[in-house]
Amino acid sequence: MKRIMTLGAVLLWSTIAIAQERAITVASTTSTEQSGLFGYLLPLFSKATGIDVKVVAVGTGQALDIGRRGDADVVFVHDKPAEDKFMSEGEGVKRFDVMYNDFVIVGPKSDPAKIAGGKDVAEALRKIAAVKAPFISRGDKSGTHAAELRLWKEAGIDLGAAKDSWYREIGQGMGPALNMASSLNAYLLSDRGTWLSFKNRGELAVLTEGDKRLFNQYGVMLVNPAKHMNVKARDGQAFIDWLISPGGQETIAGYKIGGEQLFFPDASH
């Protein structure tokens, strides 16, 4: 009897071990996590496939570095130039568009820089810099931070020369940046998804939106198993395939807050 029980225990633990193996790590942006998208999306994926997903939510730059170290199976991020570099280095297998939304400039309703209602993001940034209104930058090498720096450059603002105490880099994610902007009545660039899910708005409101330069594309890549043998290529690819499938794209489109859609699927096969 003791031997039978031991054998049964071995079989049980073997079954548990096999089940546990069906899990992947996704290095992704804080916006996909803090917007609530993953909380909505991942249980549906796991139910459909039996694959659990562990998310490491950091800035895009950090997420790509995690992929470079082989510490993630999939990277799901939003900085196309950085993603293209990742692919050119041979760190990813193939990149797929998944979805998009846009960035917005939020700021205090009192609007000392007088940017409300404008659609020209470069002009808005020039006005903020001109009056040295408080501006919070994530400063974390994230996709949002990279977009912000590109926009300052397009606005013709040399941050090295122009910034002083009015421009604060905090080295944190979108949620903490929004909280700080709310407490200081400051301007900042936010992805719309995290803004819509953000509760602690205080006096903040969306002041500038609609410029085509505020377009925010998300892409997904399997980390190259030829470089990192520990990458769970089969299950990682299953996650990617689900995201870009009609069912996955429909699920992304179905995520709404207050009736407002946060992400718009645009996968092309």
Question: What does the DSSP 8-state code read for residue 250?
Answer: H
CA distance readout (Å), 197 to 57, 173, 210, 255: 16, 14, 19, 11
Q: How far is C-alpha 27 from the geometric centre of its chain's CA atoms?
A: 9
On the question of pLDDT at 58 being above 60, the answer is yes
User: For the chain, what percentages of helix, strand and coil (3-state, to nearest 5) are there?
Assistant: 45, 25, 30
Q: How far is C-alpha 25 from the geometric centre of its chain's CA atoms?
A: 15
Tokens of 38: 């993953």
Tokens of 180: 């700080």
Domain limits, the chain: 22-100+218-265, 102-214
On the question of pLDDT at 214 being above 70, the answer is yes
Q: Are 51 and 45 in contact (CB under 8 A)?
A: yes
CATH no. for 22-100+218-265: 3.40.190.10
H/E element, 34: helix 30-34
Same fold, 22-100+218-265 and 102-214: yes
Average pLDDT taken over every residue of the chain: 92
Q: Name the fold adopted by 102-214.
A: D-Maltodextrin-Binding Protein; domain 2 (3.40.190)
Rounded distance between C-alpha atoms, residue 30 and residue 239, angstroms: 19
Average pLDDT over residues 54-66: 96
Average pLDDT over residues 131-136: 96
